[in-house]
Structure 1
């Protein structure tokens, strides 16, 4: 499907002593890690503008979750204002 296999990649990195990874990818890459439940924490920026439309890029693509309650939940939210933007950080509840 052209997407990375998160578990295989993380196992490979772990064998080399790498235990933390900053994942900065496109929507499909992020979706593959969320769907594999391999995300521990998130950090993203909110800007004071509205983007959208049918063909707009999404931060997290993939199949999504059939019901909203099945999607990943975020806890321990921390907000930091950086100029006009907000940095949102939190821990993913599994």
Structure 2
């Protein structure tokens, strides 16, 4: 029988906060579907675009924001937008995250 500490997220699932509206966070699930979760059930300080790891432990859910993964995804997305902006060459306003 394996034991897990509160900080063992090796079997956790990653979800992405797609948006925040009022008291709810719209969360993109690993399969691409979305669900609305109560914001007060999410980790403190969660923001749109954050990657959150969720793990079920002893009948309860534990969540934590993966700041490093969030930063990497934002940098990748911004890089893609920068490439699109450079290729457009129209002189119109750039798109940024």
Same fold (TM over 0.5): no
Structure richer in strand, relative to its length: 2
TM-score computed with the length of structure 2 as normaliser = 0.20
TM-score computed with the length of structure 1 as normaliser = 0.21
Instruction: Return the index of the structure with the highest Cα Rg.
Output: 2
Higher relative contact order (CA closer than 8 Å, sequence separation 6+): 1
